[in-house]
Structure 1
């Protein structure tokens, strides 16, 4: 069956109101923070020439210094997250100290101070809490500090445990399963998420859930989750997750943990009604433990820092109704082993190099279930590799950063039997080799990105923070290859209540390639007017190129070589998208004290090409062809001659891509347009008391060019039989 991609213009309107109470500030995507403010005397006159010095254990240099300008304004930028002491010095005035200023990743803290004239050399220490409302950010974000992640009761399972804390975000239920694939859904819209682990993009190149995003949450220093108002540096509209990994310091620090649980610490919901139905147990935990150790410190003081961590998790669960061949209850086993290394080198007072690497080795052994036999379980191994090298330079009002990063993972599925796989559509009974055994899922990204910041005060009625950046990802991939299934055969026998019905012919062996090359660049200006109005204006351009390279396959083992012969396939070019996406947002400080803000704006966001969209047109994609089965000798085993495997013959039923059960044989639509979304947002933020604020957000969004798939062999004009439904009339209340 041939099909074509076609986009129909559709509109979907969402108007949602989220109300958020939060104890931590809202942050931007950047990992560094800023402290800004104005210095005046006790008459309200501005004070230029004040030396402002920030010190912190988080700094790899002794201190960061700024001098207030002719408007009395100062700006300390590119500060690593941490707690700072800020000192203000000017001859003829009391020296002022402000300790305990906690700043989080990407947060801009507004700290205005008043200095008094003094003929004596004296120092005044001012106590106070850090701001919790970001006066510069125009996005609606939830910031999770290390303390928050430690104190709030979650499963510590990674991204799911964090996203459940973000208002407006809906992910799958956090039940502590270490290998669950997180769903990214916010304000009624799914997909187009963008995850970064210490600046490395870990977003799956395919749509749907985000496989491979299994990270060690115990190494997270902070995380920010954005659901509304993404600026031009963000490539998509969906949930943006930015995670910062812990770093070393001049002082050595370390910790360890041991968490243990089991069946005795688990409750159930069994009652007399369930017991009367013969249900005597749920799915109890067999073994669950979590062990970790970490150490950070200095190799060379103020020059070279290190952080290392190791963690292991085990999660074994009894399978309800599943039994081993010896009659004992069956147990599903899962083990994760993490290792993380991070190095930070201060090459010079203005130059810094950061590198990190995290490895996950995950093994699993499925259990038998009420319907799947012990021999039909999967035995899996999943390695995940994530790392980067980043160069940073800060000079005056300019900052530059360039990074090479990579993220890739492999899912090796093996079987536990050489018997032919069977599946009964009515009873659900499964026997033989696991259906998806002998497959190798592989996904990943690697690429470079860079950004240049230039802060220019006193230009066009205000201060400007210009940002120019790019990100380039060549060959992003998310394909699934297969190997021959050996004695089990490359097919599955389908029964209906024990009666032979169909045969699913698998395309093994195959090794498809469906890459996407993506390049994005943006220009952004954060324009502050009169210290109360901030405009975030930006535009983004993307070159999104999905294609199928020329590729070949070997023939499947006979008799399936009729369905999947040795063949080479030509290069196929899908439409190259070149969208331009403007974004315009604002933040207005209503009271002028940084405690009450109105934020809002509009942005256009473009869907990125997904690998799964290309796979429908890739003849080498792991696929299944279904045929009618004639069990001529009634032995309930497949014998040669019982199926006509001609794709154009009478026994052919359908063909689909195995991943996502999508259609196969698709062809690109030359008139295809990229999906886009217009998003309008407005929010109100108010700091009520120190360390406590409230935010209300409203969203209106409209989608264009939404995807759908057209069957070219069944055009609209063949549907000529009217379908009518009788109006049942008014519903009468039953008495």
Structure 2
């Protein structure tokens, strides 16, 4: 069901992607406005070197779709001296107002005006917080988008936003301004990387914050191109440049650096052994530069991160894989562990195909290794250590304080983001843009390689206290695992045309998406789960597994928006 919404002075959500602008008024020394002035914005961050506009009949100009960076603005008109303003810093969707007073003179004469870069956006009601790359590399927090979002006032995150988990991917939903908790959107270069099972909002996508040009979070003030009423977190990746530049970041925590609040009271309450962070790491590097100067740039990143933990109160099951045994018998000589790691590689290419046609290509491949094979003789991304300690999955419905290690899962199927965008300033007033992207992922956990428990029924302890028969662990699952093979596909696209004069800025566009959510749930070959009370069976549950679930949906949206500036008044409106 679709319906149009008309809004004036709209205080709605974020724009689809960060597009900074420079605007202003040009006059002569008598105060009369000057139409026909050529205004050029140049910066090293532009592969095309500069963007230009011409003042309209009111003496106003506007240059849109500018990347974050430092700009110089030059004003040129025959019969007048050239005026140049340097050091204009643009971030996010900020609109910098740069006015100029031109005096009669020769074009060969250049007047350079110095002053502070504009810090107040006087032409938009958008509320946006932008964190640039220098700040991102200096703040003491995990290099994840969830860890960055919690630093911004008015943003409320849920699930996985705790500091000790931010180094590994989590399905962290967020919202703000009193809206739905899962209404937030996470984007890379204006295209969603959200999972279809969450409506395309967020996912476990591991954005490389350490190698981002900037991160912007907009809480209100978008127009017709805004999809929802919640906040949008937009990540702008680095694009390279005409010079070779790189970066490196490493962080880690060892077991000896972690304190413990384990006490006799907790031990008396039933926690036999505490959980402990054994190892945590995050290493990332980036390198960018020209393949061909002013024509083709690249930026490549590589990253590895993960963690190892001991699981509180859980030990390997001596009876695991034995069809004649129906109880959990803990091997207290070794505590169960969990393992989770990711290997990530990203490449971004920027191509100036023709003077007015620019393309961006983006490919991000992310491979997890969560859990381990059941034995060292089975091939997999990780095998148990020689000591025989059992390693299970973390954070994916796997090994917890109420699951025996043989019930844990495994994940070695990754996720991928792909994007291509195109922009063409056809004239100084007409800008055309288009882009499409995909976010694809397999998630689980799946069946552990070498699993010897598939022919055994899964069991659950019902007893809530004094469960001596099953390690005194209330609610314990043991003996066999459940697993799933799930597929997520998010396909999004956008296209727009902007017509910009000095006083007017109009934009017409379309957005669309196709979301796919396929799932297959499985259990042991018997399709049975037994419930026991202190080891005594009292319930048998038979499941009809495996079964498949397929869900898909498509959405399309069209919008038109207008901004008109007259003197000190700016009016904005949109129809979607």
Scaled by the length of structure 2, the TM-score of the pair is: 0.80
Conserved? CA contact 1:306–1:342, under 8 Å: yes
Aligned-pair distance for 1:445? 1.2
CA contact (8 A) 2:14 2:222 kept: no
Q: For the Cα contact (< 8 Å) 2:240–2:289, is it kept in 1?
A: yes
Aligned equivalent of 1:471: 511
Give CA-to-partner distance per residue, 1:581-621, whole Å, 9 cap, x none.
xxxxxxxxxxxxxxxxxxxxxxxxxxxxxxxxxxxxxxxxx
| Displacement after TM superposition at 1:274 (Å) | 5.8
Give the deviation of 1:89 after TM superposition: 3.6
Q: How does 1:172-211 map to 2 (within 5 A)?
A: 172=158, 173-177=161-165, 178-188=168-178, 189-207=180-198, 210-211=202-203
Query: Which structure 2 residues correspond to residues 632-647 of structure 1 after superposition, within 5 A?
Result: none
CA distance in 2 between partners of 1:271 and 1:129 (Å) = 57
2-structure distance, mates of 1:454, 1:142: 27
Local SS of the residue matching 2:417: strand
**Distance change >3 Å, CA 372–CA 105, structure 1 → 2:** same
Q: Deviations over 1:666-714 (max 9, x none)?
A: xxxxxxxxxxxxxxxxxxxxxxxxxxxxxxxxxxxxxxxxxxxxxxxxx
What is the aligned counterpart of 2:369 among 319, 344, 363? 363
Residues in 1 aligned to 2:542 and 2:558: alpha-carbon distance in whole angstroms: 45
Cα offsets for 1:148-175 (capped at 9, x unmatched): 322222211x221121122211113331
When residues 120 and 309 of structure 1 are mapped into structure 2, their CA distance, relative to the original with a 3 A threshold, is: closer
**Equivalent of 1:343, from 330, 346, 349?**
349
**Corresponding residue of 2:407:** 376
Equivalent position of 2:33 in the other structure = 46
Give the superposition deviation at 1:124.
Answer: 3.8
- Residues 431-488 of structure 1, C-alpha deviations (whole Å, 9 max, x = no match): 1222x32x1121121143211111245xxxxx322211112223x12231135633xx
Change (3 A) 1:30 1:370: closer
| Structure number with higher strand proportion | 1
Matches of 2:345 and 2:546, distance apart in 1? 34
- In 2: Cα distance, 1:278 partner to 1:514 partner: 43
Structural mapping, 1:456-495, within 5 Å: 456-457=501-502, 463-474=503-514, 476-483=515-522, 485-486=524-525, 489-495=526-532
User: Which residue in 2 is equivalent to 1:423?
Assistant: 460
CA distance in 2, matches of 1:400, 1:465: 13
Assess if the C-alpha contact under 8 Å between 2:287 and 2:301 holds in 1.
yes
1:512 aligns with 2:549: yes
CA shift digits 1:536-557 (9 cap, x unpaired): 21122xxxxxxxxxxxxxxxxx
> Are 1:453 and 2:493 matched, yes or no?
no
Which blocks of at least 5 consecutive residues in structure 2 are unaligned? 1-12, 318-330, 372-391, 394-398, 465-473
Deviation digits for residues 165-211 of structure 1 (CA, Å, limit 9, x no counterpart): 22211113331421221021213332233322223222233348844
Structure 1 pair 451/512, CA: closer, same or farther in 2 (3 Å)? same
**Other-structure match for 1:534:** 570
The CA distance in 2 between the partners of 1:187 and 1:316, in whole Å, is: 37
Structure 1 segment 96-111 matched on structure 2, within 5 A: 96-111=83-98
Measured after TM superposition, the shift of residue 304 of structure 1 is: 0.9
Residue 522 (structure 1) aligns with:
559
Pick closer, same or farther for the CA change 1:221–1:501 going to 2, 3 Å: farther
Match of 1:639 in 2: none
Choose from 486, 497, 504 the match for 1:441: 486
> Which of 533, 540, 551 in structure 2 is aligned with 1:503?
540
List runs of 5+ in structure 1 lacking aligned partners.
Answer: 1-25, 458-462, 541-735
Secondary structure of the corresponding residue to residue 433 of structure 1: coil
1:310, CA displacement in angstroms?
A: 0.8
Q: How far did 1:252 drift?
A: 1.1
Q: Secondary structure at the match of 2:247?
A: strand
What does residue 388 of structure 1 align with?
A: 419
Shift in CA distance, 271/423, structure 1 to aligned 2, threshold 3 Å? closer
The answer as to whether partners of 2:61 and 2:501 remain within 8 angstroms in 1 is no
Q: Distance in 1 between matches of 2:26 and 2:14?
A: 24
SS at match of 1:31: coil
Matched position secondary structure for 2:509: strand
Correspondence 1:267 to 2:259:
yes
Which residue of 208, 211, 217 maps to 1:219? 211
Q: TM-score, normalised by structure 1?
A: 0.64
Question: Take 1:484 and 1:315, find their aligned partners in 2: how far apart are those partners?
Answer: 27
Q: Alpha carbons of 1:483 and 1:497: their partners in 2 closer, same or farther (altered >3 Å)?
A: closer
Q: CA RMSD in A?
A: 2.7
Report the CA distance shift for 1:95/1:411 in structure 2 as closer, same or farther (over 3 A): same
Deviation of 1:222 after TM superposition, in Å, equals 1.8
Return the offset for 1:234. 1.6
Task: Give, in angstroms, the shift of residue 27 of structure 1.
Answer: 8.0
The partner residue of 1:287 within 267, 272, 279 is: 279
Are 1:376 and 1:417, in contact at CA under 8 Å, matched by a contact in 2?
A: no
How far 1:221 moved relative to its partner?
1.7
Match of 1:55 in 2: 42
Offset, 1:505: 3.0
How far apart, in 2, do the equivalents of 1:195 and 1:92 lie?
49
| 3-state SS, counterpart of residue 519 of structure 1 | strand
Provide the rounded CA distance (Å) in 2 between the counterparts of 1:41 and 1:385. Answer: 54
Pairing partner for 2:145 from 159, 162, 167: 159
Residue 121 of structure 1: how far off its partner (Å): 5.9
Query: Is the 1:159–1:182 Cα contact (8 Å) retained in structure 2?
Result: no
Cα distance in structure 2, aligned partners of 1:120 and 1:393: 29
Aligned 8 A contact 2:414 2:442 in 1: yes
Higher relative contact order at CA 8 Å, sep ≥6: structure 1 or structure 2?
Answer: 1
Q: Out of 233, 237, 245, which is 1:241 matched to?
A: 233
Superposition deviation, residue 409 in structure 1:
0.5
Mapped partners of 1:121, 1:516: distance in 2: 60
Q: 2:432–2:496: 8 Å Cα contact kept in structure 1?
A: yes
Cα separation, 1, equivalents of 2:202 and 2:532: 33
> SS of 2:173's equivalent?
coil
Query: Deviations for 1:13-67, whole angstroms, at most 9, x for unmatched residues?
Result: xxxxxxxxxxxxx984433321111123444333334332222111112322333
Partner of residue 127, structure 1 = 114
Alignment of 1:314 onto 2:306:
yes
Is 1:29–1:224's contact at 8 Å kept on the other side of the alignment? Answer: no
| 2-structure distance, mates of 1:201, 1:86 | 33
1:352 matched to 2:358: yes
**Alpha-carbon offset, residue 386 of structure 1:** 0.6
- Number of residue-to-residue matches in the alignment: 503
